[in-house]
Chains A and B, each alone.
Chain A
Amino acid sequence: QQQVKQSPQSLIVQKGGISIINCAYENTAFDYFPWYQQFPGKGPALLIAIRPDVSEKKEGRFTISFNKSAKQFSLHIMDSQPGDSATYFCAASRASGSARQLTFGSGTQLTVLP
Chain B
Amino acid sequence: GAVVSQHPSWVICKSGTSVKIECRSLDFQATTMFWYRQFPKQSLMLMATSNEGSKATYEQGVEKDKFLINHASLTLSTLTVTSAHPEDSSFYICSARQGASYGYTFGSGTRLTVV
A residues lining the B interface (CB < 8 Å):
32, 34, 36, 41-46, 49, 51, 89, 93, 98-102, 104-107, 109
Selected A-B contacts with CB under 8 Å, 13 pairs: A43-B4, A43-B95, A44-B44, A44-B93, A46-B105, A98-B51, A99-B32, A99-B49, A100-B97, A100-B102, A105-B43, A106-B42, A107-B42
Known: A43-B93, A106-B43, A107-B43. A99 touches B57 (CB 8 A): yes
Query: Ordered nearest first, which 6 A-B pairs have the shortest CB separation?
Result: A43-B106, A43-B109, A99-B49, A43-B108, A104-B43, A32-B102
Which among B43, B49, B105, B111 is the interface contact of A101 at CB below 8 angstroms?
A: B49
Additional 20 contacts, C-beta under 8 A, given A42-B109, A99-B51 = A32-B102, A36-B106, A41-B91, A41-B109, A43-B95, A43-B109, A44-B44, A44-B93, A44-B106, A46-B105, A89-B43, A93-B102, A93-B104, A99-B49, A99-B57, A99-B97, A100-B102, A101-B46, A105-B43, A109-B41
A104 to B44, CA, bound (A): 7
B residues lining the A interface (CB < 8 Å):
4, 6, 32, 34, 41-44, 46, 49, 51, 57, 91, 93, 95, 97, 102-109, 111
Smallest CB gap from B46: residue in A: A101
Which residues of B are found within 8 Å of A46, using beta-carbon distances?
A: 103-105
Which residues of A are found within 8 Å of B102, using beta-carbon distances?
A: 32, 34, 49, 51, 93, 100
A45 to B106, CA, bound (A): 7
- State how many angstroms separate the Cβ of B33 from the closest Cβ of chain A: 10
- State how many angstroms separate the Cβ of B92 from the closest Cβ of chain A: 10
A89→B44 contact, CB < 8 A? yes
A98→B106 contact, CB < 8 A? no
